[in-house]
Amino acid sequence: MATKLLSLTCIRKERFSGRYPVLWRKHLNNRPRGGGGGDGSPSETAVLKIDEEAISDAVFRVTGMTCSACAGSIEKEIKRLPGIHEAVIDALNDRARIQFYPSSVDVETIRETIEDAGFEASLIENEANERSRQVCRIRINGMTCTSCSSTIENVLQSLNGVQRAHVALAIEEAEVHYDPRLLSYDKLLEEIENAGFEAVLISTGEDVSKIDLKIDGEFTDESMVMIERSLEALPGVQSVEISNGSDKISVLYKPDVTGPRNFISVIESTVFGHSGHIKATVFSEGGVGRESQKQEEIKQYYKSFLWSLVFTVPVFLTAMVFMYIPGIKHLLMYKVVNMLTVGEVIRWVLATPVQFIIGWRFYVGSYKALRRGSANMDVLIALGTNAAYFYSLYTVLRAATSPDFKGVDFFETSAMLISFIILGKYLEIMAKGKTSQAIAKLMNLAPDTAILLTVDEEGNVTGEEEIDGRLIQKNDVIKIVPGAKVASDGYVIWGQSHVNESMITGEARPVAKRKGDTVIGGTLNENGVLHVKVTRVGSESALAQIVRLVESAQLAKAPVQKLADRISKFFVPLVIFLSFSTWLAWFLAGKLNWYPESWIPSSMDSFELALQFGISVMVIACPCALGLATPTAVMVGTGVGASQGVLIKGGQALERAHKVNCIVFDKTGTLTMGKPVVVKTKLLKNMVLREFYELVAATEVNSEHPLAKAIVEYAKKFRDDEENPAWPEARDFVSITGNGVRATVKGREIMVGNKNLMSGYKVTITADAEELLAEAEEMAQTGILVSIDNELTGVLAVSDPVKPSAREAISILKSMNIKSIMVTGDNWGTANSIAREVGIDSIIAEAKPEQKAEKVKELQAAGHVVAMVGDGVNDSPALVAADVGMAIGAGTDIAIEAADIVLMKSNLEDVITAIDLSRKTFSRIRLNYVWALGYNLMGIPIAAGVLFPSTRFRLPPWIAGAAMAASSVSVVCCSLLLKNYKRPKRLDGLAIREVQVERV
C-alpha cells in the first residue's frame, strides 16, 4: 500500500493522459487477431507486428466538455466511424486520444466528427509540448459569496495560457491549470489582486519543495547577497527569495538533488569569518499556514464583534429600553437644539464608528465588487446599512434645524445589522474551519523531530543526533524508537517491529515490518527499533500527497454546485430590485392611502415604514447560504472518507457514486488477495523437484506477471540461499501475452503457460494433465503447464485466496439493490468457482482489458450507473470508462490514478462505505439546498411585508440581518453533522479472518 501511495501522481501536475501510452500498448498486445487463433504461435507474433505498424495515434484538444457524459457522447460518435481501434476521452484534461487505421479513416474526419457532436477540436501536433502544464494553488482572501468566486474564475479563465481554474469559496483557495510557457504564476496572483482580492501562492505545481529559513545573528546587506548567490549556485535550487528588511529566506528546490541541511551549512559557512557569525534555522510556520491564517481571521472578527458591542448595546438601550423608563426617558428626550434630543445625539455618535470603522470592510468589499462589474453580499449590507444610517442622519439634521420637525432615527438598525452580520461571519468562519479538520489532523501527523543516524561505508552506525523533522533529506538513515512516529517515507534497512498505520490507511491492526518493508511517514512504531532509509520527503511524501488529494477533492466542484453558481449571477441584482420595489410599493400605497393610517406605527410615517420594509428585504437575502451548501458538505464528506481509508477525488465522484446501481469487480487482487501462491506441484516425468523448479524459476524470473512471481517465490524454498538465490541464465526469453513465457535455460527449451501456449508449439497435453487442470479449476485454482524440450513435464496449481469479507460484502451490496458482476482475464472454470464462493451470478471470463471497458459501456447503455473496482494496469481502461472508478489501494499507480475513489485498506467493505458515504453526503447537500432556497423564498416575502396587512407582523431590519447571518451558519452546521458519520452497522459484523493456504 505504502509504495503505491508514494507515487499517487493524480495530485501532481501529471495527469492520467500522460500515462495513457502504457495502457494503449497493453490494448494493442491484447487485441484479438485474425488468422492466429490466439494461440501464441510465431505466426500470431508476426500478425501482431504488422497490425501495430498499421495503427496510427492522434491526440486532440477538445474544448466544451463539462462532465463524463460529454466524454461519453464524443466517444460514442467516434466509435461509429470505420477503422477506429480505440478512443479514450479525458474530460478532466480536455484531451481525446484516438487509435485508428489510416486506410479506413483520417485525422480530419475524426476532428469533424468531434465538432459535429457539439465540441471544438484541434489536433495536437506535439504532445510533448502539450504536457508542459502546471497546476498551482492559490489562497484567496476577501471572498464573501459565490459571486466573488465566480468573478475570480472568470478573471483567471480569461487569461491566455490558463486551461482551467477552480475557485472554492469554502476553503478560500483556487486551483489553476496553466501553461508556464505563456504566463507565470506571478501573473495569476497579479490578476487576482487587480480584481480586488488578496492572493497568496501555496504551491507552484512544479516537482519542487519550498522551505523558509530564519537567520539569527549579525549580518549585513552584503552578506545576504553572498548567501543568496551561494544558495542559487547549489545544484537543485530553483530560486532564492530574501524578504526585504526581514531575516527570512525562502528557497525553492528539488528534493531529489538537495535539501535544507545543505542550505543551512552553506549559509553558516558563507558568512562565518567574513562579516560575523550567523545561525540558520527552519522558519516557524506560525503566520504562514492556512490554519494559522484562519485563526487570525477568527481573532479579527471576534475583536470586531466585541468593539461593535461596545457601541451597539448603548444604541440599542437608548432606542428600545431606556425610552420606557420614566426618569431616563425624560433625560433622553431633552432637546439640545430645536427638535434635536440628547438620545438622538448619543445614538448618532455611537452608531458612526460602527458604520464607518467596524463596517469599513463592507465598503471595501462593495467597491471591489462594483469595480469589476458584479455585486455580492457586501453590496447588500452596505446599501441596507447606509439607507438606515443616512436617513437617520437626515432626521438628525432636520431636527437640529427645524423647530417643529418630528422624525424617527434608525441608528440602532444600522449598528445592530453590522454587529449581527459580523457575529454571523465569526460563527461561520469557526464552523468552516471545523469542516477542514480532517486535513489539519493529517498535516499534524508528521513528528516535529527525528533521530538522524551517521552511517559509515560498511553500513555501521557511527553516531546519531536529534534534528528538526523538516531537515530530513532523501537517502538519510533515521532511527525510529518504540512509541515514536515514523518521520518520513522509506524502507527498513535494520530491525523489526509492528507499525500502526491506522491514521493513514484506516487499517486497525498493526502491520509487521522487517528489513526491506516500506514505512509511511506519520505512522506509529509500536514495539521495536527500526532503522529506515528515507526515500520521500516534503511534498513527495505519501502523507503530503494524501493531503493534496483531499485538498484537490475539496476544490473540485460537484455538478450540483452549478445550480448555486447560476443563481449567484443574478441573485444580488434581483434582491436590490426587489428591495427598491418593496420600498416603492409601500411608499406609494401610503401616499395614495391604499391602507389605513392605523397600520402605521405611532413613531413612524408612511415613508419610514416603507423604508423599513425595503431595508429588511435587502439584508435578509443570503447568497452565502446557497454558495456554501455544496462545498461544505463535500469538504466534510471527503475528510470523513479520508479518515475511513476512502480517498474520494472531489464532489463529482461523490455525486456519481450515490447513484451507482451496478458494480463490476475485477477478480485478481480485488475479490481475491492478489498474492497467488503455489499450492500443488505434479510432475509427469521422472525428475528431481529441485532441478525442475530451478529451470522453471530461471524462466519465470524474467516475467512481471503475479503468477510468475508466485512460482519464483515458491522455487526459492528449494535453494540454499532463500533471500537472494542465483538462477541460471535464460536465453531467448519471449513473453506471449495472455499465454505464458518461453526461454532456453542450460541448453533446454522451457515453456511455462496455459493450454494455448502448449498447443501453439505442438506440445501434447496428456489426459492426466487435462484431469489435473480440470481439478484445479474446480477448486478455484489456476493450472499452469510446464514443458521441457517440447515434452509436458509438470502441472502447477496456483491459488489466489478469496478475501475473507468478499462474500459478506457482495451480500450487503445485494441488499442495497446494487448488482454485482465479476470480469476477469482468467479461465472460465476458475472464474465460475470464485464467483460461486463470493455469491456473484454474472461472470465474464477470459476478458482482455478493452473487453472489460466494453462491458462497462454495455451496462451504461442499458441504463445502469456503473462503478468499476480494480487494481491493475489492465483495469485502467474500465476504471476510466465507468461512471465511478474505484481503485484498490494496493494496486498499481495507473489504476489508482485512473480511479475516482481510492480504497486505501484494499478491503471490499470500503466499496460499501464509499457508496454509503456518498449517499449520506448527497442527502446532506440536498438538505442544505432545501434550507438555503427555502429560507430565501420564505424570508424575502415576509421581510417585504406580505403578512403585515393580515397580522400586522413585520420584520425589523436588525432581526432580518440576524436571520441572514444565522442562515449561513446553519448551512455549515448542517454539513458538520456529517462528521458523526458511521459506516453501515452490518460492516461492523464482518469478522476479519486469517487466510491459511496449505502447500502440497
List active site positions. Answer: 666
Nearest Cα neighbor of 875 from 886, 859, 861, 889 is: 886
CB 834 within 8 A of CB 669: no
Q: How far is CA 488 from the centre of its chain?
A: 22
Which residues contact residue 962 at a Cβ distance below 8 angstroms, ignoring those fewer than 6 apart? 416, 420, 424
Pairing of strands 884-888, 489-494: unpaired
Rounded to whole angstroms, how far apart are CA atoms 120 and 150? 24
Nearest Cα neighbor of 87 from 125, 108, 56 is: 56
Which residues contact residue 878 at a Cβ distance below 8 angstroms, ignoring those fewer than 6 apart? 664, 666, 823, 849, 852, 853, 855, 856, 868, 870, 885
Longest CA–CA span in the chain (Å) reads 126
Q: How far is CA 693 from the centre of its chain?
A: 47
CB 424 within 8 A of CB 972: no
Burial of residue 43 (CB within 10 Å: 0-12, 13-18, 19+) is: middle
Grid cell, residue 804, equals: 475473507
Rounded to whole angstroms, how far apart are CA atoms 635 and 550? 8
User: Within a 13 Å sphere around the CA of 282, how many CA atoms are in the beta-carbon half?
Assistant: 18
Cα–Cα distance list, 637 to 508, 651, 863, 985 (Å) = 21, 9, 27, 18
Provide the 3-class DSSP secondary structure of residue 616.
Answer: helix
CB 338 within 8 A of CB 399: yes
Rounded to whole angstroms, how far apart are CA atoms 661 and 864? 6
User: CA-based angle 586:588:591, to the nearest 5?
Assistant: 110
Which stretches does DSSP call E strand in 78-181?
84-90, 95-100, 120-123, 134-141, 162-168, 173-178
Which stretches does DSSP call E strand in 520-573?
524-525, 530-536
Which residues contact residue 682 at a Cβ distance below 8 angstroms, ignoring those fewer than 6 apart? 772, 794, 795, 796, 797
Provide the 3-class DSSP secondary structure of residue 78.
Answer: helix
Strand-pairing partners, residue 819, are: 662
Rounded to whole angstroms, how far apart are CA atoms 894 and 917? 25
CB 84 within 8 A of CB 100: yes
Which residues contact residue 415 at a Cβ distance below 8 angstroms, ignoring those fewer than 6 apart? 308, 311, 312, 315, 316, 350, 351, 354, 355
Burial of residue 75 (CB within 10 Å: 0-12, 13-18, 19+) is: buried
Rounded to whole angstroms, how far apart are CA atoms 714 and 678? 6
Report how many helices (DSSP H) and strands (DSSP E) the chain contains, helices first: 36, 36
Pairing of strands 461-468, 884-888: unpaired
Cα–Cα distance list, 96 to 17, 31, 88 (Å) = 9, 20, 6
Please count the residues of the chain.
1000
Rounded to whole angstroms, how far apart are CA atoms 99 and 63? 20
Cα–Cα distance list, 362 to 391, 574, 957 (Å) = 19, 19, 17
CB 416 within 8 A of CB 385: no
CB 960 within 8 A of CB 941: no
Pairing of strands 884-888, 866-870: parallel
